[in-house]
Chains A and B, each alone.
Chain A
């Protein structure tokens, strides 16, 4: 297998945008191309991720991007994997580059949904469940995670304040991220008083619907002469879980996340204690608590306590979501996976605000979940000199 490196990254602001999804995707792509210091003509394959383009009357965006870049002959592919779309696209690019089929790939994820009312977007998101056995009953996405939250709180004594500490931390980190959707700090009182969305989850437990795009250039070792500073992909693993929550034995974690993390650690001959920072899929606060347990940073049932004790702060034992996470940075569905990898990349190059810069970012992990865990991606990255 050939070694694979992230060579450059790009990201639009996350939040509400008046631009079209295809424009956001192109903007992030050009930023990544410039950051990598390559010419579009050096790209050999384009991997695009998008879930709800049909809402904008625009699918098949790969050829639009490639045409704009002057490379219409380059193959493109659009990948949907709910909220884990762009990490799935990243994985496919990784497979092609590590096998040597291609040397340089563009990976871009984007979403544009702010023109829809919230109730309509809530309906869209429920489509990623097993619709006839879940969404049809009137459960929403927050509702599905709330089912897991209730189970976790009952079994392990996880409290509202523990959930709140995830939200407060991620809002704090987002405050120092100029591209984040929300740039305001919140306190426990604000958290506790926020309205219930799906009990036990409140507004401040939930990530927003955001517009945005993120992109990166992935290269393999045959193309790796230009830059001295690079970030290597040590492992890229995908897994899954039973699509419908009711078909799982346990609701307090995501089985596919545990499987993917174990395999990624095995592949890279690393363990959770080797990780300097992680971006995890905090679509809801409970999801971050389950993630840090599933990955193995903390024992099952102790994730909430770790959050409350501040162990996951940017200067804590294991910094989690220094970008602000989905909670504060925002969640443009198919842009999220690449945005997580981008945060780790920028941390490793010491490009982020000092108020959220991790001191020695040597090895990073990204954890991206589609729906309630039907799809999961784990990516491990290493800073190389």
Chain B
């Protein structure tokens, strides 16, 4: 049995990013896709993804949805994890950094308020 959206959220709460891996081409991803988006194989399995990676692209959200008013401003980034999977997350410890591309980030927490990564200490410049 593969995990569903709620399983993904529960796993985040337990401190793990559980995504998927294709048993044939070994592509990894996090969204709920039942066939491998690269080779089309249905032979996929749950896979714990890396908890760190680098920012590919980002935005800094100034105007935010109602439920996130208190957290603004924060960044949203698409991150390439060390195992190659791409994932979107919120980053809150901006520390005045204006360009996040290439910054090394690490999994912070996750759950019903989404997925949060933080910029690694030695990248906070």
Contact residues of A with B, CB < 8 Å?
A: 118-120, 122-123, 126, 130, 132-140, 142-143, 146-151, 154, 195-201, 242-247, 251
> B31, A244: Cβ atoms under 8 Å?
yes
B65 an interface residue at 8 Å Cβ cutoff?
A: yes
Contacts of A140 in B (CB 8 A): 61, 63-65
Q: Are A138 and B64 in contact (CB under 8 A)?
A: yes
Residue of A nearest to B9 (CB): A132
Q: Would A246 and B68 count as touching, CB distance under 8 A?
A: no
Determine if A199 and B59 form an interchain contact, defined as CB atoms under 8 angstroms apart: yes
Q: Is the CB of A198 within 8 A of B65?
A: no
Interchain CB contact (< 8 A) of B62 among A120, A148, A195: A195
B13 at the interface (CB under 8 A from A): no
With A251-B56, A251-B78 in contact, is A139–B63 under 8 Å at CB? no
Whole-angstrom distance between the alpha carbons of A134 and B114 in the complex?
8
Complex contacts, B9 vs chain A, CB 8 Å = 132
Contacting pair B66 A139 (CB below 8 A): no
B residues in contact with A135, CB < 8 Å: 65
B65 touching A246, Cβ below 8 Å? no
Please indicate the chain B residues that have their CB under 8 angstroms from the CB of A200 in the complex.
Answer: 59
Minimum Cβ distance to chain A for residue B36 (Å) = 11
Across the interface, which residues of A come within 8 angstroms of B116, CB to CB? 137
On whether A139 and B57 interact (CB within 8 A), knowing A132-B8, A245-B88, the answer reads: no
A198–B57 CB distance below 8 A: no
**B8: nearest chain-A partner, CB-CB:** A132
| Complex contacts, B67 vs chain A, CB 8 Å | 123
Are B86's CB and A247's CB within 8 A?
yes
Structural contact, A196 and B101, CB atoms closer than 8 A: no
Are the CB atoms of B76 and A147 closer together than 8 Å?
yes
Other CB < 8 Å A-B pairs besides A195-B62, A197-B62, A247-B31, 10 of them? Answer: A123-B67, A132-B9, A136-B112, A138-B76, A139-B59, A142-B59, A198-B60, A244-B31, A245-B88, A246-B78
Within 8 A of A (CB), among B89-122: 89-90, 101, 112-116
Closest residue of chain A to B88, judged by CB? A246
Residue from the set B61, B69, B74 with the largest chain A CB neighbour count within 10 Å: B61
Most buried by B among A130, A134, A136: A136
**A248 CA to B49 CA, complexed, in Å:** 18
| Chain B residues within an 8 Å CB radius of A149 | 59
Instruction: Indicate the size class of the contact surface on chain B.
Output: 35 or more
B5 within 8 A of A: yes
Contact A247 B33, beta carbon cutoff 8 Å: yes
Contact partner of A126 (CB less than 8 A), chosen from B65, B71, B112, is B65
Contact call B65/A123, Cβ cutoff below 8 A: yes
- By the criterion CB–CB under 8 Å, are B62 and A137 in contact? no
Question: CA of A244 to CA of B31 in the docked complex: distance in angstroms?
Answer: 8
Task: Say yes or no: B114 contacts A136, CB within 8 Å.
Answer: yes
Check B37 for interface membership: any CB of A closer than 8 A. Answer: yes
A–B Cβ pairs within 8 angstroms, 9 of them:
A133-B30, A147-B57, A147-B58, A147-B76, A149-B59, A196-B62, A243-B31, A247-B37, A251-B56
Distance of B122 from chain A, by nearest CB (Å): 22
Q: Is B87 an interface residue (CB 8 A)?
A: yes
User: Which of B5, B33, B64, B74 sits near A132, CB closer than 8 Å?
Assistant: B5
Query: In whole angstroms, how far apart are the Cα atoms of A247 and B37 in the complex?
Result: 8
Q: How far is the CA of A80 from the CA of B110 in the complex (A)?
A: 31
**Contact in complex: A138, B71 (CB < 8 Å):** yes
When chains A and B are docked, how far (Å) is the Cα of A174 from the Cα of B89? Answer: 37
B68 neighbours in A (Cβ, 8 Å)? 138
Q: Nearest Cβ distance between residue B19 and chain A, in whole angstroms?
A: 10
Given that A150-B57, A247-B29 are contacting pairs, would A138 and B66 also be in contact in the complex, using a CB cutoff of 8 Å?
A: no
Contact A137 B76 (CB under 8 A): yes
Alpha-carbon distance between A199 and B97 when the two chains are bound, in angstroms? 12
Question: Given A132-B8, A133-B30, is A150 in contact with B114 using a C-beta cutoff of 8 Å?
Answer: no
Q: By the criterion CB–CB under 8 Å, are B30 and A245 in contact?
A: no
Residues on the B chain within 8 Å of A118, using CB: 63
